[in-house]
Amino acid sequence: MASATSVSTHILDTSLGRPAAGVGVELSVRSGHDTPWAAHAGSVTDADGRCKDLPALPEGTTQVRLRFETGPYLSREQRGGATAFFPEISVVFAVGPGEHYHVPLLLTPFGYSVYRGS
């Protein structure tokens, strides 16, 4: 039996040097670039900036989208309630069967980066 494909993520606020807690994350999937996105799961980052409760992906998933609702966090934590420059960040990536994908988000008020972690 093949292992399930899975995704995990965490957010590090690099401007403050600490995890970003309380950020909403939506995980969507699709089986090809011409197929529509289907919402698969939602989560909120914990005190360590991690989403530990994302379920395995459906069989046949070839692309994943993580949508981070960064606006409330950035407004609250970074700018004294001012409107966030990045109200949301979407990251789309390809997946293969039976692999695990850890996709961290490094966040600042005016920039971000993502990568495939381990």
User: Span 75-91, mean pLDDT?
Assistant: 80
Q: Which tops the pLDDT comparison, 82 or 84?
A: 84
Which residues have C-beta within 8 Å of that of residue 34, sequence separation ≥ 6? none
Range list of H helices, the chain: 71-77
Could you tell me if 72 and 35 are in contact, meaning their C-beta atoms sit under 8 angstroms apart?
no
Question: How would residue 77 be classed by pLDDT, with cut points 50, 70 and 90?
Answer: low
pLDDT band at 3 (very low <50, low <70, confident <90, very high): confident
Of 1-5, 16-20, 43-47, least confident by mean pLDDT is 1-5
Please state the CATH superfamily assignment of the domain spanning residues 26-109 in this structure: Transthyretin/hydroxyisourate hydrolase domain (2.60.40.180)
User: What is the rounded average pLDDT of the residues 97-101?
Assistant: 95
- pLDDT band for position 83 (50/70/90)? confident
